[in-house]
Copies of this chain bind each other. A is one copy, B any other.
């Protein structure tokens, strides 16, 4: 799946080059008959693969030095590669990335950001699963990271930021969200703090960056994916129910194709690890070459966007201002 995806991505970005990390013999066999791609590839051999069900701590202890995952991340650390893309074990990828690349100075914990399609465009949602829970400081940092990504990747000058919350008047137990709101309102950065948003505001496109803890974000993301899949099933069933509806569906097949593409999770495939000194993109484990190629495209755009440098500068600026104001 990885090598056909690389071939696809190369068509779109002819100046890409790849370092393929894995079993050399297997990779070479897959590259047979792809002379164009092969000329852009370098192979780093590894016959140690991190199992999908390995615990992150185990992966770090046992698989560290020789595994394909570690060697790929190391290539980013050593400046051989601009970004790493993996469809492997998310927890292990995060643990190894943190250990190898380190977090950006001033950032407490990295987050995973997702690009979420909205009615008119797309927004960035984070954290979607790097952490379980988040305190005030982490929420503020997620906002900074999301804003840096929106500025660098989506070209927004002053992205709007929303904090995901529930719509009740007397909110108890979410002091950290209210405190984060107070910080963001006063943040000396080119962001537009929008306020609290609710679950239905995400897809509506209320804000450019949605900030939440990794538990809630992960559940929101997967719930939206599940709902889209469910509606696609309803639609198929409804269109097959009578002769007229089948005929109608046939006539409208161009429209259905466009809709299918719009709803295709492979088009926006990839969780972006933010807050690290390097670019790491996690592709869905169950994707195909189209989906993996999307993740490769995303890594390429991230590498060109200067998001890591932007993030570092924003965080330094923010912390400096806070100290000057005596609020840190």
Contact = CB atoms under 8 A, between A and B. Distances in A.
A258 B238 CA distance: 7
Contact of A170 (B91, B164, B247): B91
A132 B254 contact: no
Interface residues of A, number: 71
Interface of A: 53-57, 90-91, 117-119, 129, 132-133, 164, 166-174, 198-204, 212, 214-216, 218-231, 233-235, 238-239, 241-242, 244-245, 247-256, 258-259, 262-263
Contacts of A262: 234, 238
Contacts of A245: 251-252, 254-255
Does more than half of chain A's interface fall in helix, strand or loop, or is it mixed?
Answer: helix
A174 to B, nearest CB: 6
Oligomer copy total: 2
Contacts of A244: 251-252, 254-255
Which 10 pairs of residues, A with B, have the shortest CB-CB distance? Answer: A248-B252, A199-B222, A200-B226, A248-B251, A199-B223, A245-B255, A203-B230, A132-B173, A238-B255, A245-B252
B239 A222 contact: no
